[in-house]
Amino acid sequence: MKQLLPLLFIALMIGGVVWFMQDEYEPPFEPAYYDEVNEEGWQMRFFLDPEDDEVHIGIQLNYEGDTFEPDQLEKLEFFVNHETGSFYYQDLDVEGFAGELIHKEVCDACLDESGRLVGSMMINWQMNGEAESVFHQFVLTDIPAEEYPDDVRE
């Protein structure tokens, strides 16, 4: 017993250090279905992502250009239209933009039986008093619509 007690103490110390030093790592966002494009420094990703009991539709924006620094952005907005609806995001007083934005909403009747989802997006931003825009069309295909609840399908 005297020989096991130091080993048990060492194991508890190592376990405590490992638990205390663990990293709060959050993996990168990887939706199940997406279409992406890079235009004018913006990586735009239109996605459909099942989470638990809900299916989300949304946009992921990453600024990877060299025209300006992300924290210099003054205003940002985008509008997304898809076959059964639309959504938008608007921030007219951007502070501390880190270069990435993920906006998602619950998908209500946004899938048809064919497993195809078409959307378009217009992104507008302003920096140094100058406004710019980009427009793009997205297509998600091969989505197994039959696997999702009826309220997600048309």
Model pLDDT, residue 97: 84
Long-range Cβ pairs for the range 48-53 (8 Å, 24+): 48/107, 48/110, 48/111, 48/117, 48/140, 48/143, 49/104, 50/148, 53/149
The torsion of the CA quartet 90, 95, 101, 106, rounded to 10 degrees, works out to: -50
Local confidence band at 149 (pLDDT 50, 70, 90 cut-offs):
low
Domain ranges of the chain: 33-147
Model pLDDT, residue 16: 84
- pLDDT averaged over the chain? 84
Local confidence band at 133 (pLDDT 50, 70, 90 cut-offs):
very high
Contacts of 99 (CB under 8 A, 6+ apart): 62, 63, 64, 70
Angstrom distances, CA of residue 5 to CA of 9, 18, 95, 117, 119: 6, 20, 56, 63, 64
Model pLDDT, residue 12: 87
Q: How far apart are CA 142 and CA 117, in angstroms?
A: 9
Q: Higher model confidence: residue 77 or residue 150? A: 77
* Arithmetic mean of pLDDT, 84-104: 88
Model pLDDT, residue 23: 76
Region of residue 109 (left: phi > 0; alpha: psi -120 to 50; beta: else)? left
Q: Higher model confidence: residue 92 or residue 51? A: 92
* Arithmetic mean of pLDDT, 98-119: 83
* Arithmetic mean of pLDDT, 33-40: 89
* Arithmetic mean of pLDDT, 65-81: 86
Neighbours of 95 (CB within 10 A): 8
* Arithmetic mean of pLDDT, 77-90: 89
Q: Identify which of 53, 50, 95, 55 has the alpha carbon closest to the alpha carbon of residue 76.
A: 95
Measured over the CA atoms of residue 77, residue 139, residue 108 and residue 51, the dihedral's sign is negative
Q: How far apart are CA 110 and CA 107, in angstroms?
A: 6
Q: Which CATH architecture has domain 33-147?
A: Sandwich (2.60)
Model pLDDT, residue 76: 92
